[in-house]
Structure 1
Amino acid sequence: MTIHSIEKVGAYLVHIEKPMIRQTSFLFYWMGQILSSTSFQMLSVAIGWQMYSVTHDAFSLGFVGLAQFLPMILLTLVVGHAADRFDRRLIVFICRLVEGLIAILLLVGNIAGWLGREEILIAAAVLGACRAFEGPSSAALLPQLVSKQFLQKAIAWSTSGSQVSQILGPSLGGLLYAISGSFVYSVSAVALFLATLFTVFIRMEPVERKTEPVTLESLFKGLVFVFKHRVILGTISLDLFAVLLGGATALLPIFSQDILHTGPWGLGLMRTAPAIGALLMSFYLATFPIKRAFSAALFSALGVFGLATMLFAISTNLYLSLFALMVIGGSDVISVVIRSSLVQLQTPDEMRGRVNAVNSLFIGTSNQLGEFESGMVAGFLGAVPAAFIGGLGTIVIAGLWMYLFPPLRRIRSLSES
């Protein structure tokens, strides 16, 4: 692909105004994000399989997930400070480079036969730490590549890239691992080094960074900023509680086996359905961004999310369940794009790293706790009541947040943010 053709694709993606360099930079950003996220998904699948093949121990398999999740919790404050103090593009570059090197080490260890439990856990922890730094830094970098007018469109395309990774990564990782574990590590390494190279070609307006000393005050400034600004606090907390209560997807194995009686093939379809709905909706929003009734669209999307979750809970037909799951994925993307746009535009550039780190922590925590909450409620009441209550709870949260955060309810367009 030539630079000229890349510029044409970039112009189509976001319709970013002159200079042309911004169009190309966004496309390099977008392609790098897809390659990096897909590679991480592939590596996660391969590492999990490799760990169980080596140990045949379910606890060791659980520690792999913990090793990837803990760095996000432990490094949140440091990550945000680094993203606001240093060149965000450089942070993303280093993270992807290290991830590529880890893939190479896994490849060498797999070929040489010295890849054991400890080595896999170390690799998982380093990958988790890199993703902890890369995610907020990359998110904070996006507003430097596009104008405010086209930020929502860019976020929609970025979300579509994430959904493509969620769909392709696990399936591609499993397919390649069936051929050879070394094949997964090789493909992942090449993709990560290519994503690293794309980072080099990203161009943006230079931003002067403050040489703020590392203190407890500077580390916690992101949290303080979030709690002081009602729109941002309402947006981030809305995501936290909506996802916390709407975690019906964690119960899919129960619905597949005990309610719909479909077996593993039905479970695979149900796991894919939300991602397909999300992907289609993100493409739609990238082409037709929401320009008016911003807050109405946000709360309506949450209402549809809750209703679709309730429909899925009571459905006894596979096709109806798949439709409900697609609606869940699509409505979730609407709220994600709106919430992300609000957080980015309500936050000054010098604080975006820390605020995005807090946002990433809330999102990651809500996903984990949402699955835990759904499992616990299902254990006491059953899967159908748990999913139904979760959907109803999301609607209640949306209504409650409209009352608790009037500034969030009154936003009509991005120009008001």
Structure 2
Amino acid sequence: MARICAMLAQSNLVVVLGWAVYDVARLSMDMKAASLRIGLIGLSQFLPVLLINPFAGLVADRHDRRLVVRLALLVQMLAVGVLVALQAMGRADLPVFYLVAAGFAAGRGFYAPAMNALAPALVPVEILPRAIAVSAIAGRIGGIVGPVLGGFAYGVAPAFAYGLTLALLGAALVAQIAIGPHGANRPMADGKPLAHILDGLRYVARSRMLLGAISLDLFAVLLGGATAMLPVYARDILHVGPSGLGLLRSASSVGAVSTALWLSWCPVENGVGPKMLAAVALFGIASAVFGISRWLPLSLAMLALAGAADMISVYVRQTLVQVVTPDGMRGRVGATSALFITASNELGEMESGVVGAILGPVGSVVFGGVSAVAIALAWGRLFPELKRVQRFDEFLPES
């Protein structure tokens, strides 16, 4: 319950902030200039992520994870509470939106690793895989329902949308307080998070397989995403308003969840490397078609297809990282991968805004889609190891 409420709040706020920033910017700017203001949301979130990510895992391992999660939720509630108060006073402007985005990202930076680490301590090991699966599905459901709620709530009134986010965070906090004691955290070997990141970086740099898989996802997300420009499409291109923005934002999650359920029944077993590259290319094609679409059903279908393709790519990449990396290095490689992928999401929004200011929002999305296709083709040549991977069990030790 705590995870789904927190995810509902996060995805709700993403839609609300994106629309609010663009709507305010359009009062005095054209579409290109306003697109850049949307990109600044990503930059506002990137800086806290960059500073917090190397230390968040250490904090989760050194302290009571329930307390870390609760404090992280309180930080997020404080950020949204400031927005609610300033909106009531009529003083919510662009700098306020950016500060709220930064504060929320700071709380999320501590919340995610602590929350993820709680599950093994709360459920018996024999049902842990099911618990993780249920938790992941709950988060994805939040990614579908949250944007729709946010869009419709903002259509009623901005204050209502902000208040809804605050209420959802409060519900998540109450659910967290209900969690009982768990086993003590295992002691850390040392307290050098930056050293762990550097160890992970060095290991990834020495492994062509890991470097290719992680960098493929990094650059595809950095250049190929269309989500930052969705407020522009909802307001000025598709003309569907904030409720339509919620639908657009949730479409990719619908595709991702549907594909995740399919993969749970029919996992990828053969041709995993070529399929990962093909999925990235398909993601780019779907994004480019969305960029030129002027029909809402087609736009929703392309976003869902992009979400499905991205899920296949993520599934293969994450599995490859786990099976290729020795057990003793998985934590450090995982931390390195998480740092770059998380940062690329925020920087990708900034990149979309900058390109949108130069080429316009449509040019930004089409450029991103074409770039993702080019990256898939280039990585197939730069990292032939990826194309040669046929099965995950090639990397498992012989019994």
Give the TM-score normalised by structure 1: 0.70
User: Secondary structure in 2 aligned to 1:280?
Assistant: helix
Deviation per CA, 1:189-247: give whole Å up to 9, x if none: 2323424645x5888xx996552253864452232232223222222211111112212
Shift of the alpha carbon at 1:178?
5.4
CA contact 1:95–1:131 (8 Å) conserved in 2: no
Q: Is the contact between residue 248 and residue 387 of structure 1 (CA under 8 Å) also seen in structure 2?
A: yes
Distance in 1 between residues matched to 2:147 and 2:176, nearest whole Å: 18
**1:323 correspondence with 2:296:** no
1:192 equivalent in structure 2: 173
Structure 1 residue 257, shift from structure 2 partner: 4.8
Separation of aligned partners in 2, 1:107 and 1:251? 23
**Which residue identity lines up with residue 108 of structure 2 in the other structure?**
R
Change (3 A) 1:106 1:235: closer
Whether 1:220 aligns to 2:204 is no
Partner of 2:51: 74
Q: Which has the higher contact order (CA 8 A, sep 6+)?
A: 2
Q: Give CA-to-partner distance per residue, 1:284-340, whole Å, 9 cap, x none.
A: 223332222221221121121122122223333332222111111111111122222
Matched, 1:131 2:131: no
* Structure 2 counterpart of 1:346, from 318, 321, 324: 324
Unaligned runs of 5+ in 2: 22-33
**Contact 2:15/2:246 (CA < 8 Å) preserved in 1?**
no
1:125-274 to 2 correspondences below 5 Å: 127-136=104-113, 159-172=136-149, 175=153, 184-195=165-176, 197-198=178-179, 200=180, 209-214=187-192, 217-218=195-196, 220-274=198-252
| In the alignment, structure 1 residue 33 sits paired with structure 2 residue 3 | yes
Q: Distance in 2 between matches of 1:335 and 1:77?
A: 25
Structure 1, gaps ≥5 residues long:
1-30, 52-57
Q: Which residue of 2 aligns with 1:19?
A: none
**Residue from 359, 363, 367 that aligns with 2:341:** 363
The reply to whether residue 407 of structure 1 matches residue 388 of structure 2 is: no
Aligned with 1:283: secondary structure? helix
1:167 partner amino acid: I
In structure 2, relative to structure 1, the CA distance for the partners of 1:218 and 1:250 (3 Å cut) is closer
- The AA in structure 2 aligned to 1:368 is E
- 1:141 & 1:347 partners in 2: Cα distance? 23
Give the 3 Å change call, closer, same or farther, for CA 138–216 of structure 1 in structure 2.
same
Rounded Cα–Cα distance in structure 2 between residues aligned with 1:294 and 1:234 = 14
Code of the residue aligned with 2:279 in structure 1: it is A
Deviation string, structure 1 residues 239-268 (Cα, Å, up to 9, x no partner): 111112212232334444554454555444
Counterpart in the other structure of 2:28: none
RMSD over aligned Cα, in angstroms? 4.6
Task: State the match for 2:68 in structure 1.
Answer: 95
| Contact 1:377-1:386 within 8 A present in 2 as well | yes
Distance 1:71 1:300, change over 3 A: same
- 3-state SS in 1 of match to 2:269: coil
Residues paired across the two proteins, number: 375
| Aligned partners of 1:313 and 1:387 also within 8 Å | yes
Aligned partners of 1:253 and 1:267 also within 8 Å? yes
d(CA) in 2 for partners of 1:142 and 1:293?
32
Letter in 2 for 1:223: L
Counterpart-to-counterpart distance in 2, 1:268 and 1:398: 29
Report the residue type matching 1:287 in the other structure: W
User: Matched residues in 1 for 2:272 and 2:332: separation?
Assistant: 25
Mapped contact 1:245–1:390 kept (Cα < 8 A): yes
Percentage identity across aligned positions?
Answer: 37
State the distance in 2 between where 1:378 and 1:353 align: 37
Contact 1:76 1:132 in 2 (8 A): yes
Q: Which residue of 2 aligns with 1:17?
A: none
The separation in 2 between residues aligned to 1:142 and 1:292, in whole angstroms, is 31
Question: Offset at 1:82?
Answer: 5.0
Show the counterpart of 2:25. Answer: none
Secondary structure at the aligned position of 1:291 is classed as coil
Per-residue deviation, 1:341: 2.2
User: Take 2:384 and 2:355, find their aligned partners in 1: how far apart are those partners?
Assistant: 31
Deviation per CA, 1:135-155, whole angstroms, max 9, x where unpaired?
A: 3455577899899xx97x988
Q: Compared with structure 1, are the counterparts of its residues 371 and 130 closer, same or farther at alpha carbon in structure 2 (3 Å cutoff)?
A: closer
1:72 and 1:65 map into 2 onto residues whose CA distance is 10
Residue-by-residue CA offset, 1:92-134 (whole Å, 9 max, x unaligned): x2322213444776899989x99x9999999876653342234
The equivalent residue for 1:55 is none
